[in-house]
Every structure is written in structure tokens, then in C-alpha cells.
Amino acid sequence: MSKLIRHIFVLLLMIAAGYESFAQASNSLVQRQGITPAPLRNKKNVRQKLDAAHDRFINKQLDLTDEESAKFWPIYRQYQQEITAVNILKRLNNSSAATNGTEQIDKEIYYESQQVAIRKRYRDAFSKILPPEKVSKLYKSEQAFRDELIKQLSERSERAGN
């Protein structure tokens, strides 16, 4: 029995070593030739399509004039970057196995307060460009887009049998 376990262990080590060498070889090929692996390309394409759909949705909902659009989109991009950065930190906090649960909860509350502060700050910036009705519609449209996205993903998942 111990020989069998030893053989299995050796086999697993060989597989792991082979996988590590393969990963290193692929990474060096990617770096030397500038090749992006297919899964990363596909993920990037999906993200670009999703961002484009989001922008079209927001533009349609707000019915921006050319002048509003020229001023709005650069500020909105900054807003999205700041919100995304906080979301990433929030996700990392939630995925870590913190030994101190209270500390993790405090960080969660902190990140949520950061999001609120960002929204307030940009509400003021958006109000300088757009009428108050459109600013209100912006925040509602963001939530509507997320809700629609979740709905469509759920429907696709159900159709796929998951």
C-alpha cells in the first residue's frame, strides 16, 4: 500500500513539474512574441462588448446632447475607474480568509462608505454638466443595466441547464 502511495505521489510531482515547465514556457513565449492567450483575448473582448453596451444604454437613457456628451463621458470614465477600484478592493476583502471577522466587516463598511463618497462627489461634478433629472436618471440607469445583465445571465444559465 505504501508503495502505491509513493508511486502516486511521484506521479503527481512529475505532473506538477511538467505543468510548471509548460506554464513557464508559455509565459516566455507570450512575453517574447506578444501573443495573448485565447482565454484572455476572449475575456477582453467580452469586457469591451459589455462596456460598449453599457455606454450605449446610458447614452440612450440620458438622451445626451453633443455638448453634454463631450463633457460627460470623460468625467464618467473617471467615476467608473474609481468605483471599479473600490469594488476590486471590496472583492479581495471578501475573498480573503481573514482570521479577524470584525476587521473584515469593518473593511467592508469602509469600502461601502468610499463608494457613497465617490457617488456624492461625482454627483456634484455631473450636476455641473447635466440637469438634475439626468443625473438622477444616470444612477437609476446604472442599476437598471446591472439588473438587466443579471436577468439575462440567469436566463442563459437556465437555458444551459445550470
Are 62 and 135 contained in the same domain?
Answer: yes
Tell me the residue range of the domain where 84 lies.
39-159
* Nearest-angstrom CA–CA distance, 15 and 3: 18
Question: What is the block-wise mean pLDDT of the chain (162 residues), using blocks of 10 residues?
Answer: 47 45 46 54 83 94 94 96 94 76 88 96 96 96 94 88 72
- How many domains are contained in the chain? 2
Are 25 and 52 contained in the same domain?
Answer: no
Look at residue 103 in the predicted model and tell me its pLDDT.
Answer: 85
Are 30 and 46 contained in the same domain?
Answer: no
State the Cα angle at 121 between 116 and 124, rounded to 5°: 125
C-alpha cell at 2: 505504501
Look at residue 10 in the predicted model and tell me its pLDDT.
Answer: 44
